[in-house]
Structure 1
Amino acid sequence: MSIVAKLEPLGLEYVSGMLKSIDIPCDIHDEFHMPRFFRYKRLIDRIIKGGYSHIGFHVNANTVDYCIDTAARLRQDLPHVKILVGGPEVEHNYKDFCNDCIDYIFYENGLVSVERVFKSGFDTKVLEEATGIGFKDVHGKWILNEKGPPICQYHVKPDRSHFYKTIKSNFIIGKGSFAIAKASFSCPYRCSFCYCTKMNSGLYTEMDLDLVIEDIKSINHQRIWFVDDDFLVNKERVLQFCKKIREQGIKKQFMIYGRADNVVKCKDILSILYDAGVRDVLVGLEAINDNFLQDYNKETTKKVNEDAIRVLRDNKIVCNGLFVVSHNSTRQDFKDLITFIKNNRLLWVVFGIFTPYKGSDAYDEYNQRLVKFRSKRLDGIHITIKPQHMTSLMFLVRFYMLYVKTYSKLYLRIFRKNAYVTQNNKWW
């Protein structure tokens, strides 16, 4: 990840904002913006120098083992330090973190309950009443409280001081640096490979647009990436967003996610989105084969994907095509994917190998067929289900050749400074 992008840790910045609002000093230790060597020494030196009493890990699917292993080392070297875990992986699979080296598990939807615990100094009575928090009783037995209700906004603002401090190393390859923003929670769709749809207790909610606009205005950066799973769910809301951007004279560049079918549904307002500053839409095309799309429960078709690419290009918005490569792919499927990309003049593409993340519907379907299913391999570039039509080696060769065949063109266009010229009739 750090090779192609180094991004703002928005989740941790909300936690930092919450802690500082109740006068608890804290800092973010972001390894993405640091060298890979001497990680543990650097971390433990910082803990000792800062005199920290509590250390929290923000856990993603591909960092589970690293976080637990590091927590175990810290428990041995600094037994007085309390260790906390949270983040998307913990929210879904919090029972996996009932470990001797961990003291508290935070899997609540929002931060209100967490704030109460910190304000009380981790008082036992408050812990017992808090929602979405796991802790140990006096006998060392884990108590796992029920989650609270879904949320539609955070009650605090993110502390972006870390972003501004590391902005020189913040980037998305070929695009520059981006601040991260959020305008909704969860996703109303049910793609089988994605567990984002189960965030916020599985309920899609939208933040108040005035709060979203206020956040945008407060960000001292020109490029903003909305990481909502689909910014285009509510067409009327999108129009209201554009109207507020225009009325308040906000001149910034936006990148958003959008499903192919919602892109098509919004085709008549794409020019308005462009005028509001939207220059990139990351579209989960996923596959060019209707059978694969059905397997993924995507509820779209190859034709819808093609229409989405076309209408974005016609409105001068860059379509960033995201593809999930199935373990059922044949040699011909790989060839057809490259042909599809060329025929549709897609320049910006990202490929990931189908991975059934724990907590997703796909995991329930494939958990008996998983191979070498370790957290560090859950990054979309490792095989976790044995390919059906070729050896694992040949599958990986063909997978990496997708990048060779497409990114050579992308880098050339970036060098020529015309990678955002959507009206270019040639793939080059």
Structure 2
Amino acid sequence: MSAEVVRVGLLGLGTVGGGVIKTIRSQQEKLASRLGKRIEIVKALVRDSEKERAVHVDPALLTTDFEDVLRSDVDIVVEVMGGVEPTYDYVRALIEKGCHVVTANKELLAKKGTELVDLANQHQVHLAYEASVAGGIPILSVLRQFLRTNDIQGVRGILNGTTNFILTKMEAEQLSYQEVLKQAQELGYAEADPRSDVEGFDAMYKLYILTQLVYGESLPLADVVRKGIADLSAGHIRIASELGYRIKLIAQANQAEKGIRLSVEPTMLPLSHPLAQIHDAFNAVQLSGNIVGDLLFTGRGAGELPTASAVVEDLAYLLTQPFTPHPTWKEKTADKAGVSVDSEEHVLCYLEGSCHTATPDRVLHFLQQAGVSVHKLKVQFDLGGVLRAGLIVTGISEEHESLLKKDFGLEVRCFPILESA
């Protein structure tokens, strides 16, 4: 007796969409054996049906009209086209028709996830999104199991492979940000317009999804602390290294008595920290549980096959599981008084300016008089009379930073330090 056929539609046939087709084809027999069902791609929505593609697809399966997908009697649709519009309207229409949806679209989920989760529950369909966070690392599946016994005290990680590649290269080869960005674009790690990656938006969307799963609520995106890497210099990285730290773009969520704090920003890690060992385009997620302690998950976070793997695993999962309601997503506005950074936390301050107007002694005297504690200092001079200094401090405020700029002519950049492993 032949296996039941599951009709699958694709929204998008770019890098990830092509990887999904390759994965289904290469694993077809295994999937049919394990699931008792054969997966058949019956329609693929594309922008240009004449475009040359890396994977061969029967032209009859391609369409530029979303209505063709709706009319195709698909059981499941895989959404890998990205963006919010018109993607949201398409996904909404599919759910309302009773179609299961698998998506890799972190921006869509971060901006419209609360509505889509409610809609999926209303129509009793699966909304699966493992591929939206950390590519091939099955972190969302792990969390669903893990949360049954452990309370998660914190989640942090490197959630963007492009920025991790750039920071790795800047440190290893002592190159400028612009030089490495160009390399990343040539290698296909960075888009022609890299802003979503390098300004921290991509990591912020993924952090939002993780936080919904871990805490059952998240902050609105506007309340997330977000800083990118575009203004990082070789000087920042060199001073950090000389003080025993490495800069990584760290996304983290912590829950305190007064609420959740979410941040995505360049962060100083001791060289011994597990996340400091994650190089190139790899991603990593670290969880702190009240029973199990710290766990680290790492793997390739982007690219054709890692993301496609997560998509097809989601497909396989929902073909074997009955529908159960999704936990509702909620947003809670931050309590501004409760989620500010503790003034006693260590930060690394990088100072740069003319040594004719600022000397280390004068700067240290000013900070001491202002009540700022300096725990460690590293000073560099160059032949052009430029002072560069890195200070590990506690108690520094925005007012202090303004005075350093106004009175000493120093540019100031402060980085949080993640000491605990």
The TM tier, using the shorter chain, reads under 0.3
Question: Which protein has the larger Cα radius of gyration, Structure 1 or Structure 2?
Answer: 2
Bigger proportion of residues as strand? 2
Query: Larger relative CO (CA 8 A, sep 6+): 1 or 2?
Result: 2
Bigger proportion of residues as helix? 1
| TM-score (norm: length of structure 1) | 0.26
| TM-score (norm: length of structure 2) | 0.26
